[in-house]
A = this chain, B = another copy of it.
Amino acid sequence: MKAKKLLIVGTLLLSTIVLASCGKSSSKGYSTTGSTGGTYQGVIKGGHYKTSKARGVNINQNNNQYNLKSFESGLTDVSKRVFSTKNYIFQEGQYLSTDTIESWLGRKTKSNPNGLNPTRGKKSDPNPEYIQQIEEQDYMTESGSSLKLKGMTIGIGINSEYNYHKKTDGPSYTKKISDEEVQRQGKIAADKVLKRLRQRKDLKNIPIVIALYKQAPDDSLVGGTFFAYSKNSGSSVSTWHKLNYKNTVLPKANAETSQNSGSSTDNDSFSNFKSQIQNFFPNLSGVTAQAQYHNGSLSGMHITITTQFYSQSEISSFTAYIARAAKRYLPHGIPIDIKIQSDSEMQAVVYRNSGSDNFQSHVFNSY
């Protein structure tokens, strides 16, 4: 495992170096990826996309890939609150290297004084590793013919549980970490990270946003959520702003729905949708959804329908029907996408972007 990790990191470093040297040869010119409504443009230099200096670190940090994706896209959402997509251009983090982030994510030891996690302590009752992933995003504006760094966002992912072994190859134990502790540890780490960044000349005067993310457990079918952020001009963290996101899986188990929560109508409308399309096409293997709530209201859904179709005409008819049923049964005014897939491949997609009322669909085909 370790050797593989190092190999990956090595390969990444190498490709970053190659990239960087290619980039230099092309004077100071840059271009951008272009953007579709509400997304950032990305930086292209010398024809190449400028990848992160710490590329791939977080892949190894997450046993649950939902934590990887929701952390990354959630971090971009936090950035949008501060750096508007109209005025800023997105650049993958260029200031924190793989080495730096890996040392920060380690435990604090003599050989790793910058580790943000506590020493292991007793083997039979170890201190949790709290800080699980860190990501840097750079926000640029045009200045003459080049781009200048005008802001940075740092995401910090904090574990909500800690899995450990008392003996190598022994059974696995889990320590729950309370929400209070997640918050406390996140804020401690944020303060240290901010101070370290400010020691760099080039990061002295830009606004630095720090966002805290609570990791979902390894067996969760949805990722974690960001719960706080602060926008900082100095070297100590200023006000924390609360973020109120909640992720859930639909349909809910019976025990959950009996709670008198605001989300029970959403679960009902999803269940209606589900039974409608299962009645339409009886041998669907699964209809599930990830739903996100923001300040108590449903803010988006990712639906997956696993099918056992036998022909393109079935897929095509089913897709047309889904688009109609989705508009009729699913909550209005939020972005939703629906993947229609077999065990081996995606067959069609139906989606509604944020702000739109109609669903668009595309059936995958082959010549």
Q: Which residues of A contact B (CB under 8 A)?
A: 12, 15, 18-19, 33-36, 39, 41-42, 44, 47-49, 51-52, 55-56, 58-59, 65-66, 68-70, 72-73, 76, 90, 92, 135, 137, 222-223, 247, 279-283, 290-292, 300, 302, 310-314, 316-318, 320-321, 323-324, 337, 339, 346, 349, 351, 360-362, 364-367
Bound CA span A162–B305, Å: 37
Bound CA span A320–B41, Å: 8
Which residues of B sit under 8 angstroms from A68, Cβ to Cβ?
A: 311
Which residues of B sit under 8 angstroms from A72, Cβ to Cβ?
A: 311-313
CB of A365 within 8 A of CB of B49, answer no
Bound CA span A311–B58, Å: 9
Which partner residue on chain B sits nearest A277 by CB separation?
B49
Bound CA span A323–B41, Å: 13
CB of B321 within 8 A of CB of A337, answer no
- Excluding A15-B283, A362-B362, 13 further A-B contacts by CB distance (< 8 Å) are A15-B282, A34-B324, A36-B361, A42-B317, A47-B279, A48-B279, A51-B310, A52-B310, A76-B316, A92-B311, A137-B313, A223-B366, A300-B367
Which residues of B sit under 8 angstroms from A300, Cβ to Cβ?
A: 367
Which residues of B sit under 8 angstroms from A34, Cβ to Cβ?
A: 320-321, 323-324
> Interface centre among A18, A33, A34, A290, by most B CB within 10 Å?
A33
Q: Is the interface of A mostly helix, strand, loop or mixed?
A: mixed
Pull 7 A–B residue pairs with CB atoms less than 8 Å apart, ordered by A: A15-B282, A33-B320, A36-B320, A39-B316, A56-B310, A73-B366, A346-B346
CB of A367 within 8 A of CB of B42, answer no
> Interface centre among A19, A39, A135, A337, by most B CB within 10 Å?
A39
Shortest distance in angstroms between A342's beta carbon and chain B's nearest beta carbon? 11
Top 4 nearest A-B pairs by Cβ distance?
A42-B317, A72-B312, A69-B366, A33-B321
CB of A339 within 8 A of CB of B364, answer yes
CB of B364 within 8 A of CB of A337, answer yes
Bound CA span A229–B313, Å: 20
Which residues of B sit under 8 angstroms from A302, Cβ to Cβ?
A: 364-367
Bound CA span A247–B365, Å: 13
Shortest distance in angstroms between A261's beta carbon and chain B's nearest beta carbon? 17
Known: A291-B367, A367-B300. A51 touches B320 (CB 8 A): no
Which residues of B sit under 8 angstroms from A12, Cβ to Cβ?
A: 310
Bound CA span A346–B341, Å: 10
Bound CA span A288–B310, Å: 26
Known: A49-B317, A73-B312, A279-B48. A367 touches B222 (CB 8 A): yes
